Structure formats: structure tokens, C-alpha cells
Structure 1
Amino acid sequence: MQVQVTMAGWTLCVVLVLAALPGAVAETRYEKFLRQHVDNPRTSTLSAHRYCETMLARRQVTAPGRPCKPSNTFVHAPPEELTAACTQTPDAMGFQSTPTAVSLTACRARGGSTRPPCAYRARQVQHHVRVSCLNGLPVHLAGTYAPPQ
């Protein structure tokens, strides 16, 4: 009985110490959104056609042993511009859009790329970004659309 109490106390102590360490606490949904979708200013790479592969690996969106993500979008605007979407009126689907078009890179998996190393096509455009918000912060990128002509 004495050993169980001591072991439980030790486990609780370890958990509390780990929780206090920077980076030991799991990221919030907003932090995950930023990691997976915001690259401002745009990271320059040695070869522009490798941008998607480099960023998706660096940001741990694709990882060894996990399937390639079919598509991902990196927004090259300050997080505040995406947070501004959360103040807009939601559309019929409940998504909110950035008030202005922003620079972004749309990454799409190239044919047959289902397991790492993943191959992607990159397309740079100026689009509005549709997001889902939670507590006034974007937590999911639902899509993008071209500004009206």
C-alpha cells in the first residue's frame, strides 16, 4: 500500500513538472492552425518548386509513416489578418472569410503521392481565406476563393 501511494505521488510530481516546461503542453487549435497554415513572410527556399515539400515536412504536416496530406494552404499574411475573418458575418455554411484577398501558396499532392516522400504542385494566388473560428480565433482553414472581378 505504501509503494502505491508513493508511486502515485511521484507520477503526479512528474506530470506537474512536465506541464510547467515550455513546449511540454499540447498546442492549442489556434497554434496548430498557425503551424499548418501561416507562413509570413513567405519562407524562401533554394528552389521554389520545392516550397510545399519543404514547408509541409518542416511544419510536421507530413511525417514519415503517415499518409501524404492531399492538399494544404500556406497564407503569407500576418495572423491578425486571419483573425480579422473571425469578426466577419458567417456564410451559409458557418465559415467566415478574410475581408481582403491575401497572398497564399496552395499545395496539391502530385499524382500517386500517398506516402512520404510526398510530391506537391505549388500555386501562388491572391485569394480570400475561409475559416472556422473558436473564441475569436481561426482554428480551421475551410478553403479559399478568388476575389470578385
Structure 2
Amino acid sequence: AVRETRYEKFLRQHVDYPRRSTLAAHRYCETMLAQRGVTAPGRPCKPSNTFVHAPINELLAACSQKPDAMGIHSTPRPLDFTACRLRGGDTRPPCAYRARQLQHHVLVSCLDGLPVHLAGTQAPPQ
């Protein structure tokens, strides 16, 4: 298999645009995590994962923003995303997730101007 770059891994694990809307909300996380190879038989379930439903240029824009003291960049505007959290304490497949659809600023670490790690999300100021 061809080794993917950290940026390609970021895209595979965290970007779903346009969003696959054909799936029921509770099945979305299980299906997407399996299809994208984030969860796999024999591997422990990932405790949480976020899928951003925005064009990649919205995430690239974060890398041109001034980073915080920890080197984390924020998207200029809030983006739609689905937050997947492992349900229950079982870390072995089959993995069951709870999905929440939100709109927050997405926080990323960047390398050479490309997002390579999703560090979290931040609710916009009220």
C-alpha cells in the first residue's frame, strides 16, 4: 500500500464533504469510521472522531490564521461537523457511537500550511 501523508490521513479521517446524508444519524459514525479505515476488526475502537462537512479550503484557511500558544490554528468561521463518541466502555469492535451534529470553529495543527491533526472544536462566542 502507498503510504499516505499526514495531510492525506487527516482528510481520510476527518473530512466528509459533501456530507453523506443518506445514512441515519446513529449509523453515520459506525459506517464512516469503518469505510475510512479508522476502525477495523482486530483494532480497538477509537474513543472519538470528528467529521467536518466543509470544503477543504475552509480547513486550509485555518492554517493561515495566527496559532495560539500551543501552536493550534482555528478556522476563521464555524463549520458544520459530526462528532462521534464511543458509546459505553467497550473498546473492541463492533464499535457503537453516538453522533452529534454541531457548528463550531475547528481547531487544527498544521504542517507546511496543511492541516495534519484535528485538535478539537470550539463553540463560537455567544
State the TM-score, normalized to the length of structure 2: 0.97
Q: Which has the higher contact order (CA 8 A, sep 6+)?
A: 2
Q: Name the CA distance, whole Å, in 1 between partners of 2:36 and 2:90.
A: 19
The amino acid that maps onto 1:91 is D
Root mean square deviation, CA, Å: 0.9
The amino acid that maps onto 1:59 is R
Q: Name the CA distance, whole Å, in 2 between partners of 1:116 and 1:84.
A: 36
Where in structure 1 do 4 or more consecutive aligned residues deviate above 6 Å?
A: none
Q: Name the CA distance, whole Å, in 2 between partners of 1:95 and 1:48.
A: 29
Partner deviation per Cα, 1:53-111 (whole Å, 9 max, x = no partner):
00000000000000000000000001110010000000111100000000000000001
Q: Name the CA distance, whole Å, in 1 between partners of 2:79 and 2:24.
A: 23
1:44-123, aligned counterparts within 5 Å?
44-123=21-100
Query: Which residues of structure 2 form unaligned runs of 5+?
Result: none
The amino acid that maps onto 2:10 is F
Query: Which residues of structure 1 form unaligned runs of 5+?
Result: 1-23
Q: CA deviation at 1:112?
A: 1.8
Q: CA deviation at 1:121?
A: 0.3
Structure with greater strand share of residues: 2
2:21 corresponds to 1:29: no
Q: CA deviation at 1:145?
A: 0.8
Q: CA deviation at 1:33?
A: 0.2
Equivalent residue pairs, number: 126
Percent sequence identity over matched residues?
Answer: 81
Q: CA deviation at 1:131?
A: 0.4
State the TM-score, normalized to the length of structure 1: 0.82
Q: Select the structure of larger CA radius of gyration.
A: 1
